[in-house]
Amino acid sequence: MKTRPIYQNLDTSFVNLSALIRHLRRLEFTGNIRVELSGYEADVTLSASNQLRVREYDRVFGRISEGEESLQRLLIRAREPGGIISVYQESEESAPAIETIAPVVEEISPAAEVNQPVETEPVVVNAAPLELHLNGHSKKAQRELPPPEDDFPVIKANPLKMPFELSNNFEIQARRTNLAPHDWQMLLNITAELLDTIDKTLAEANLEFSAAFEKARSEIAGDYPFLNPSAGVFDYKNGKITVREQISAKLFAAGINESLRRILEKLGRNPKFLNIYLTTVQKIIILIEKRQAHYDKFSITPQLSKNIGI
């Protein structure tokens, strides 16, 4: 199918992708939007039947994925400066012509897209600093055109029927997974409690959890950009969590679980830390039993239980 460029090389520093998609859907636009960032590309396809399909190419991790979680990740990533957004319209005669589409420029007011910080009560942990050495290093990737799809493994976990439908009011639909304030605060509270419990346990062995947690977050920043320490969205220190915008509860729980999996796995492989690893696992089990209903509600239990082998 032939397409013609409407806009090319719009900078993500000035364009609100969510508002742009909403604007195009209201115009019943058919075509696609391409977003290019360092090591990452994504295509948003808008069909004549007002359906939306998202497909992302993560060149750092060598993966293609699609679905609603891909949309959530894309909307977060598209807030990073220095990326490129291009819009292409179908050129078939049946496609309605759109001669002028004004790019949606990000407003200066931060309140338009970002919630105020939501914090739990701080719990101070005086741990003697000793670095917990974890393997791993960051990668840098140059922007390239994606190779043929056969070169990528396609992620099929949690399959969705595609294309999934969104109503004309895209912004409301994009936020439909947002929790009520009470539930969001509860999710932050139980997450802070979990992290603080592990933090205190490692402190008993003079191991610094915060440094290990930050390193693990950096390693998975490609899949969970909100956990990227340099993004300034999520922060943990001395038992206190600071989150500057609400994240999809499913993605939030998955990102925390994956970070903890890496820490526990590396801790458990080191014979020197076997006892502290077993103590940590025992305390997590106690927390799971104590907070079972809440952990189940926010989809924390399955992966956390798998992380500790139960």
133 and 26 housed in the same domain: no
105 within a domain of the structure (yes/no): no
Q: Is residue 241 domain-shared with residue 283, that is, in the same domain? A: yes
Q: What is the pTM of this model?
A: 0.49
Structure tokens at 121: 């009560």
| Domain match, 132 and 254 both | yes
Note whether residue 129 is domain-resident.
yes
Total domains present in the chain: 2
- Indicate whether 221 belongs to any domain: yes
Residues 87 and 122 in one domain: no
Kindly report the three-state secondary structure assignment for every residue of 51-103. EEEEEEEECCCCEEEECHHHHHHHHHHCCCCCCEEEEEEECCCCCCCCCCCCC
| pLDDT tens-digit readout, 188-246 | 999 999 999 999 999 999 999 999 999 999 998 888 899 999 988 999 988 899 999 88
Are residues 264 and 130 located together in one domain of the fold?
yes
CA distance readout (Å), 67 to 2, 61, 139, 159, 190? 24, 18, 25, 8, 28
What residue numbers bound the domain in which 46 lies? 3-91
**In this structure, is residue 277 part of a structural domain?**
yes
Tokens of residue 103, six digits? 């790019």
Count of residues in the chain:
310
Specify the pLDDT at position 34.
93
Percent of the residues in the chain that have a pLDDT greater than 70, as a whole number: 72
Instruction: Express each pLDDT in 16-36 by its tens digit.
Output: 888 888 888 888 889 999 999
Whether residues 9 and 70 share a domain: the answer is: yes
Residues 132 and 278 occupy one common structural domain: yes
* 188 and 299 both lie in a single domain: yes
Q: Is residue 108 part of a domain?
A: no
One domain, residues 37 and 130: no
pLDDT digit string (tens) for 86-131?
999 987 654 444 444 444 444 433 333 333 344 434 333 333 333 3
